[in-house]
Amino acid sequence: MVMGPTHAMSGAAVGLAVAQILPEQWGGVTTAEETFIYAGLAAGAALLPDLDAPSATVSRSFGPVTQVISRFTENIAQTFVNVTRGRKDKPCKNGHRTATHTIWAALAAGVGATALIGAFGKTAVIGLLFFLLGLGIRGLLPEWSKKTDWLIVTGLSAALAYAVWSYVPEESFGVFLGSAITVGCLTHMLGDLATKQGIPAFAPLLPLKGRRWWNLKLPKFLSIRANGPADRILLAGFTIAVIAQIGLVASGNMRDVMVDLLPFEVVAQDPGQDLGQDYLGQDLGLGLSP
């Protein structure tokens, strides 16, 4: 798998970009501060799919608590694969990079977080912020986190969670958090897709030649080895991208850059318009204007 810091940094880079083009009703941001928060949450969420691997960064983030959750997740994933496997799928003996590495899991994580916030309000918001921002800290600052007692990092995560909750309006958190989680998880999967093993992106709903748990892969000449030279190059590239984007966001130019890169027209938001028309044009039902 791509290593934790690369996943986290790619999540931050993609989060900074996506936050600028999402409609506000879909979790998009309205201020620079919200953009940075969204990126931090996406960075943390970009580690979530590896909760099925006890040795992963996410599984070691909160001491014995996440270790227990990780082993439970791995066992559930393994069982799920064996229950849903096709006639030509081999029995699953390790749940890593299976159920949590599907598109459906990424969507379910975002929807589940939004539903959790709808049901439990402030308690769910602060809990999710604490968990995701804690993951973001450990993923983006791996060396510092390793040298620092996990209780100190946990305390910092709690302080950040409360600060963010105090800043962002509570009614905005449902879709805001949910979309950041889905964006982070999907970014993680794109990173693992680039490795030689690939990921079961569409399993178990899209069978192929008698198999439900087949891996989607890039051509061999494009695939990379985890923790190899290409992985480190990607980490450096995403780090540079994050630094550049932070400068653009702080200067107020990030959205203009994103608009110029998009293959469709982006128009200014008008609160009086329907969601399908108010952000990405008016010619098509989904708001995309050719």
Residues 284 and 209 in one domain: no
Q: How confident is the model at residue 192 (pLDDT cuts 50, 70, 90)?
A: very high
Q: How confident is the model at residue 89 (pLDDT cuts 50, 70, 90)?
A: very high
pLDDT higher than threshold 80 for residue 266: no
Asked if the structure places residue 247 within a domain, the reply is no
Residues 61 and 132 in one domain: yes
Burial of 123 (0-12, 13-18, 19+ CB in 10 A): exposed
pLDDT higher than threshold 70 for residue 197: yes
Residue located via tokens 């900074």 = 16
Q: How confident is the model at residue 190 (pLDDT cuts 50, 70, 90)?
A: very high
Which range, of 12-16, 148-152, 263-267, averages the lowest pLDDT? 263-267
Residues 61 and 177 in one domain: yes
Asked if the structure places residue 281 within a domain, the reply is yes
Q: What is the pLDDT of residue 270?
A: 46
Mean predicted confidence (pLDDT) in 241-266: 82
Asked if the structure places residue 98 within a domain, the reply is yes
Q: Considering its fold, how many domains does the chain have in total?
A: 2
Residues 80 and 100 in one domain: yes
Asked if the structure places residue 61 within a domain, the reply is yes
Q: What is the pTM of this model?
A: 0.86
Other beta carbons less than 10 A from residue 83's beta carbon: 9
Residue 46 φ then ψ, to 5°: -70, -10
pLDDT higher than threshold 90 for residue 183: yes
Distance CA 171, CA 242 (A): 28
Residues 104 and 219 in one domain: yes
Torsion of CA 56, 59, 63, 66, to 10 degrees: -170
Mean predicted confidence (pLDDT) in 108-133: 92
Q: What is the pLDDT of residue 278?
A: 39
Per-residue model confidence as pLDDT tens digits over 209-243: 999 999 999 998 888 877 678 888 999 999 999 99
Q: Find out whether 98 and 81 touch, Cβ atoms under 8 Å.
A: yes
pLDDT higher than threshold 90 for residue 27: no
Residues 16 and 142 in one domain: yes
Asked if the structure places residue 248 within a domain, the reply is no
Residues 144 and 235 in one domain: yes
Residues 87 and 216 in one domain: yes
Q: What is the pLDDT of residue 279?
A: 36
Q: What is the pLDDT of residue 94?
A: 92
Q: What is the pLDDT of residue 146?
A: 79
Distance CA 189, CA 180 (A): 14
Question: Nearest Cα to 82, choosing from 94, 72, 71?
Answer: 94
Residues 91 and 231 in one domain: yes
Residues 83 and 137 in one domain: yes
Q: What is the pLDDT of residue 62?
A: 84
Torsion of CA 112, 7, 11, 218, to 10 degrees: -90
Q: What is the pLDDT of residue 2?
A: 64
Residues spanned by the domain of 237: 4-241
Residues 136 and 202 in one domain: yes
Q: What is the pLDDT of residue 109?
A: 97
Distance CA 235, CA 5 (A): 7
Q: Find out whether 169 and 117 touch, Cβ atoms under 8 Å.
A: no
Mean predicted confidence (pLDDT) in 197-201: 94
